[in-house]
Amino acid sequence: MLKPIKSDQQYADALARTYALMQKDIRPDSKDSDELEVLSILIRDFEVEHFRIPRPNPLDAIKFRLDQMNLSEAELSEILGFRSRKSEILSGKRKLSLAMIRKLNEVLHIPAEILIQAY
């Protein structure tokens, strides 16, 4: 019977069992597929609680997303609408305005909760 994961040892055991299940050729809607699904949920919940990933700095998120989308800093100027503001923002001299946050969220798909953080 599956139980909530409450310790590092239980977590390690759940990972090992998940790995073993993933090595099988599992049919949908079988006991093994149900077990794998439940284990995945339990592991995810444990990891969310015990292995929190800090949110990225808004400026790092913008630079990362530009890189991901193969966009230049010049194209960021077009997104923001101000050529001079781009360098001030990326250097940290100027904070993002609400309008800029909305535009970055809309065009670059960076979550607003990342962009509104203090930096």
Helix axes 73-80, 58-68, angle to 10 degrees: 110
Judge if pTM exceeds 0.75. no
* Rounded Cα–Cα distance for residues 68 and 14 (Å): 34
Residue 119 has a pLDDT of 87
pLDDT of the chain, 119 residues: tens digit per residue: 789 999 999 999 999 999 999 999 999 999 999 999 999 999 999 999 999 888 999 999 999 999 999 999 889 988 887 777 788 888 889 899 999 999 999 999 999 999 999 88
Residue 73 is encoded by which pair of tokens? 């800093």
Structural domain spans, the chain: 8-50, 58-115
Instruction: Please state which CATH class domain 58-115 belongs to.
Output: mainly alpha
Q: What is d(CA 105, CA 100) in angstroms, rounded to the nearest whole number? A: 8
